Amino acid sequence: MAIQEILVPDIGSFKDVEIIEVLVNVGDTINVEDSLITIESDKSSMEIPSPAAGVVKEVKVKVGDRISEGSLVVMMDVTDGAAAAPAPVAAAPAAPAPAPAPAAKPEPRPQPVKSPTAAVQSEAAKLDFSKAYATPSVRKFARELGADLNKVTGSGRKGRITQEDVKAYIKDVMSMGGVPGRGAASGNTLGVAPMPDIDFSQWGEIETVALSRINKLTGEFLHRNWVHIPHVTQFDQADITDLEAFRKQLNEENAKSGMKITPLVFIMKAVVAGLKAYPRFNSSLDAKGENLIRKHYYHVGVAVDTPDGLVVPVIRDVDKKSIMQLSEELKAISGKARDKKLKPADMQGGCFSISSLGGIGGTKFTPIVNAPEVAILGVSKSDIQPIWNGKEFAPRLMLPLSLSYDHRVVDGAEGARFTTYLAKMLGDIRRLLV
């Protein structure tokens, strides 16, 4: 044991910066890399970690003091001899972030297995929070709950992440049926090298734009589903020439009411017919992957494009609603989504999702299954094609369908049967009545 001065290490271009937090008290037992103080410049904040383990004997700084490299922070009764050289520091940039300096990435400490949440905590312990703008107590809180701080949007001063922000993030993740921290951690569990941290400004002018909360959450779920679900996408097309003529007629008849019917509502009805004919598509795998939970209700999620990102509100009991009711509900719920008024419950309980890009364009795409559902239908823009009718080529309006499904639940043959069935229903919508 020896009393040792703990000094501010090399902190790059930071000089004469203000201390905004003192994170230790006399008598505290400190481990190597525990943060001692937080300093803040105009652009970012930074935590100064302890290069040594021991007991704090004297705190030599207070909030508001200004420090530079070499300033004395604490006197410590050192128990771990690794103290001699001050450790490099990990910067926590505020938005907009400056080009990050190469940051030391402390090895995560092993987490004792104590509770059912230990696995999630241990995954969170592996995450690198060095760029998250949060105090040590908030970092600790996030690790305890297994939350990935990199995905939390800060509401504090200069975008600092508060404990409340972590709680709100956990609430959002849970309400969408997820596990905090798992999304990002899943990349690590594959043993894949992390994405490199690149300074793009070396090649030209750049700007940094923060992802919205929806972007972050959606990204986490898409990543999780992409990694966990063995996807197959089946392509097909439906002849909607007659359906389109009927839809146009309905729209003309309803012109005064202002109600517009799009192809999507007919597709929803055809999907429900498909779910009834092929019930494996209306199921979910249980958590152990040993049983299928078959649903006897027909709630369909519809992907809605909003300025803040993709959301998938659910329209309930599609089997029990008319084309007009579905049109009204689709209009209302997509409006609610774009006005950011959806509640978590509006996005839960779906059996199957539809992602329609038909109003935009494209010929086909491969949507990602919206787990715990087992399939999703992508719809692209219809166009007129020459179709052989046995005697000649006739111009027909063809609708491209892209069905992605979880291959653990649905076989390829069943996938092809489902799209063939959809095409048959959409080709002659009278069949939806049978």
Q: Give the residues lining the site for ligand CAO (CB under 6 A).
A: 260, 262-264, 302-305, 310, 330, 334, 355-359, 367, 379, 381-382, 399
Closer Cβ to ligand CAO, 102 or 395, answer by number: 395
State the alpha helices, DSSP H only, in 181-319: 182-189, 213-228, 241-253, 263-277
CA 167 from centroid of its chain's CA atoms? 16
Closer Cβ to ligand CAO, 163 or 233, answer by number: 233
The reply to whether 407 belongs to the active site is yes
Closer Cβ to ligand CAO, 167 or 338, answer by number: 338
395 Cβ contact list (under 8 Å, min separation 6): 384, 385, 386, 387
Kindly state the smallest distance separating residue 186's Cβ from ligand CAO, in Å: 19
Kindly state the smallest distance separating residue 260's Cβ from ligand CAO, in Å: 6
Indicate left, alpha or beta for 258 from its phi (over 0: left) and psi (-120 to 50: alpha).
left
Kindly state the smallest distance separating residue 418's Cβ from ligand CAO, in Å: 18
DSSP-assigned letter for residue 87: P
Spatial distance between the Cα atoms of 234 and 236, rounded to a whole number of angstroms: 7
Residue recorded with tokens 């940094």:
208
Sign of CA dihedral 406, 412, 415, 419: positive
Kindly state the smallest distance separating residue 113's Cβ from ligand CAO, in Å: 38
Kindly state the smallest distance separating residue 414's Cβ from ligand CAO, in Å: 22
270 Cβ contact list (under 8 Å, min separation 6): 422, 425, 426, 429, 432
Instruction: Judge whether 47 and 33 are in contact, CB under 8 Å.
Output: no
- Report the residue number whose CB is nearest to ligand CAO: 358
Do β-strands 2-7 and 352-356 pair in parallel, antiparallel, or remain unpaired? Answer: unpaired
Closer Cβ to ligand CAO, 132 or 379, answer by number: 379
Closer Cβ to ligand CAO, 398 or 410, answer by number: 398
Catalytic residue among 223, 228, 231, 407: 407
Short-list 20, 11, 21, 23, CA closest to 68: 11
Annotated active-site positions, please?
A: 407
